[in-house]
Amino acid sequence: MCGIVGYIGKEQATPILLDGLKKLEYRGYDSAGIAVMNGGEINIVKAKGRLKVLCQMTDDGAAVKGACGIGHTRWATHGEPSETNAHPHCNDEKTIAAVHNGIIENYAELKAKLIRRGYTFYSQTDTEVATKLVDYYYKKYNDPLRAISEFALRVRGSYALAVMYCEYPETVFAIRKDSPMIIGTAKGGAFLASDVPAILKYTKSVYYVDNLEIVRLKSDGATFFNLDREEVEKVPVEITWDAEAAEKGGFEHFMLKEIHEQPKVIADTLNYAVKNGKIDFSEIGLENKFLKKLNGVIIVGCGSAYHAGVVMQYVIEDIARVPVRVELASEFRYRNPVASGELVIVISQSGETADSLAALREAKKKGLKTLAVVNVLGSSIAREADYVFYTKAGPEISVATTKAYTAQLIAGYLFAIKLAEVKKTVDAAVISALVTELKTLPEKVERLLADKEKIQKFAAETVDKNNVFFIGRGIDYAVGIEGSLKLKEISYIHSEAYAAGELKHGTISLIEKGTLVLGVLTQGALIEKTVSNLVETQSRGALIATVVTQGVRLPETGFERVFYVPETDSHFTASLAVIPLQLLAYYLSVLRGNDVDKPRNLAKSVTVE
């Protein structure tokens, strides 16, 4: 959601900014712009729509000269996508330019004050307010750092803000609060960005900017300050993945590449927490004596992360016999939940989702311990949680998550098994069998991927469907809600996921001739029951497809479209059943000519409410 890039160094800035913004396209945006300093003057170019428009307007960067600049991709919040609302914004004299990610909550109040002080506004954005607020304090104190700290003292909300001042033509200043920002340093240049892929080509040495830290970026490096403008020491982190991990690597789309990475992601996540065949949470910091006393778990997340939590709930309750509640982070944060003694697990790929971060803070305020299941190193949720389980999915670029969801499931299984082991709710032999079974998952996912053409053909057959229903019971229902979300996100086909037993209580009225109903059938004794529900829809004209565990004999139904998944322990079937569902969403999106990796209206990392 909005992408920011900044550069100061020996090279021409514009091509570097455009390249960085391209790497951040996955975050979602509807306009883009750059501001580049040249001979003490700021040039601003902005465009509505895709980055290629901005590239054309600047002759791929060659037309805008200067070695210091900031760039931005905007995902509209305040005001429609337009050239005027696009960032960077500047003061009337064009001596200050800024880009911003996040939301300034009290922007209306600040805007009114600035208008009273003689400022004029041209856009509908909160960012123009932010820029003019910095301008106001810069004129008042003639100090670029002070202007930014005064800004921070007066705004409420979230922001990653980068500012250039004409009077400091070789410097970029920045600050952040609750919106991500990283700094990279290399020989002969320094970078800032919303996320690592934007600068990975140039450096692997990265600083994670803390909340309310101000950065001064010069070509020879970065200096960090607190709000009192005192210097703070920071240590860079070395990024271990390479630029190739953030490229498409021969696949047509990031999503397909990421679907194919899932066997490796499962293996890497297992290797992180399983040592010599035993689950080892020492790196995570979760101690056995803490787990032993645990009498409840609350899981929160948004989107697919929430769906991973729903699977986790079934698994933890079944094997560790501890009550689990799963909640949407956006609800948990506001409903003053009654909780004491539970562990709150916050699941988030990005570690920056605003609602999940707020839910984490709410949990901490209630004195609850928190475990983050997060993919992005050094992200806000990871830093604020008491314990962190890092999923090993690597950089995920496609907006629709696949491999991060898969890694979250693995984290959930491991947590459940560890809890069961500590609480002795299952025998040691069962624990060891479960861990052994987990290790077979990468190869089983490989097998499913090798058979992807079957799903491709099925997608061709169903490309014109406008309504799809997913049904299942237990974990089959939990995986259905994820399959349904994938479909909505990227194919734009309306879809619902229903607990199969609930179908009769209303939704079945929507079934008509040709409606596609997809049954997930991996949960032993529950299969027959869901089959009955499928048959009920078939009698009303539905086209039935099923995802079934190999070896299961379905009752005589006449179902023709059956997709088999390899056998595994019933607790882990979501990891296999989700693969055909991801592939179906992917192929339908391709066939419908959609922008698979950057679906309309969506953002990868939702840093606003």
Contact call for residue 350 and ligand G6P (CB under 6 A): yes
Q: Say whether residue 349 binds ligand G6P (CB under 6 A).
A: yes
Q: Which is nearer to ligand G6P, 356 or 575 (CB)?
A: 356
Looking at the Cβ atoms of 23 and 89, the one nearer to ligand G6P is 23
What end-to-end distance do the CA atoms of the chain give, in Å? 11
Examine residue 265 and tell whether it contacts ligand G6P (CB under 6 A): no
Nearer to ligand G6P, 131 or 348 (CB): 348
How near is the Cβ of 159 to ligand G6P at its closest, in Å?
19
Which of 2, 68, 90, 302 is the catalytic position? Answer: 2
- Give the whole-angstrom CA distance, residue 190 versus residue 188: 7
> Candidates 44-52, 270-278, 288-296, 342-350 — which segment interacts with ligand G6P by CB under 6 A?
342-350
Min dist CB 172 to ligand G6P, Å, is 27
- What are the tokens at 396? 């995920």
Residue 562: in which H helix or E strand, if any? strand 561-565
Other Cβ atoms less than 10 A from the Cβ of 318: the count is 17
- Known catalytic membership, residue 302: no
Which residues are CB-neighbours of 71 under 8 A, at least 6 positions away? 4, 5, 6, 17, 18, 20, 21, 32, 33, 34, 35, 99
Q: Is 330 in the site for ligand G6P (CB under 6 A)?
A: no
Q: Which of 400/459 has CB closer to ligand G6P? A: 400
Spell out, one character per residue from 386 to 425, where the chain touches ligand G6P: x when CB under 6 A holds, - when not.
-------------xxx------------------------
3-30 b/e with 16+ CB inside 10 Å = b? bbbbbbbeebbbbbbbbbbbbbbbbbbb
Structure tokens at 118: 């003689």
- 303 binding ligand G6P? (CB under 6 A): yes
Q: Given 204, 257, 418, 604, which residue is catalytic?
A: 604
Size of the site for ligand G6P (CB under 6 A): 16
Out of 302, 434, 518, 527, name the contact with ligand G6P by CB under 6 A. Answer: 302
Based on the shown chain and the rule CB under 6 A, indicate whether residue 589 belongs to the binding site for ligand G6P: no
Q: From the CB of 406, what's the least distance to ligand G6P, in Å?
A: 12
Task: Give, to the nearest 10 degrees, the angle between helix 126-141 and helix 144-154.
Answer: 130
Least distance in angstroms from the C-beta of 115 to ligand G6P:
35
Cβ neighbourhood burial of 566 (10 Å; 0-12, 13-18, 19+): middle
- Distance of alpha carbon 523 from alpha carbon 517, whole angstroms: 18
Q: Does 348 bind ligand G6P (CB under 6 A)?
A: yes
- If we measure between CA atoms, which residue out of 42, 35, 103 comes closest to residue 70? 35
Binding piece for ligand G6P, criterion CB under 6 A, among 48-56, 102-110, 432-440, 601-609? 601-609
Select the span of 223-231, 346-354, 410-418, 568-576 touching ligand G6P (CB under 6 A).
346-354
Cβ proximity to ligand G6P: between 346 and 459 the closer is: 346
The interface with ligand G6P within residues 351-370 (CB under 6 A) comprises 353, 356
**Which one, 346 or 531, has the nearer CB to ligand G6P?**
346
582: three-class secondary structure by DSSP:
helix
Q: How far is Cα of residue 145 from the mean position of the Cα atoms in its chain? A: 32
Question: Cβ distance 400 to 383 under 8 Å?
Answer: no
Verify binding: residue 606, ligand G6P, rule CB under 6 A: yes
Euclidean distance between CA atoms 401 and 92, whole angstroms: 42
Active site residue 2: yes
Q: How many residues appear in the chain?
A: 609
Nearer to ligand G6P, 307 or 473 (CB): 307
Query: For 355-416, what is the HEC assignment?
Result: HHHHHHHHHHHCCCEEEEEECCCCCHHHHHCCEEEECCCCCCCCCCCCHHHHHHHHHHHHHH
Binding flag, residue 304, ligand G6P (CB under 6 A): yes
Instruction: Evaluate whether 36 touches 17 at the Cβ level (below 8 Å).
Output: yes
Among 192, 343, 604, 608, binds ligand G6P (CB under 6 A): 604
Choice between 375 and 549, CB closer to ligand G6P = 375
Give contact residues for ligand G6P (rule: CB under 6 A).
302-305, 348-350, 353, 356, 399-401, 602, 604-606
Known catalytic residues are: 2, 604
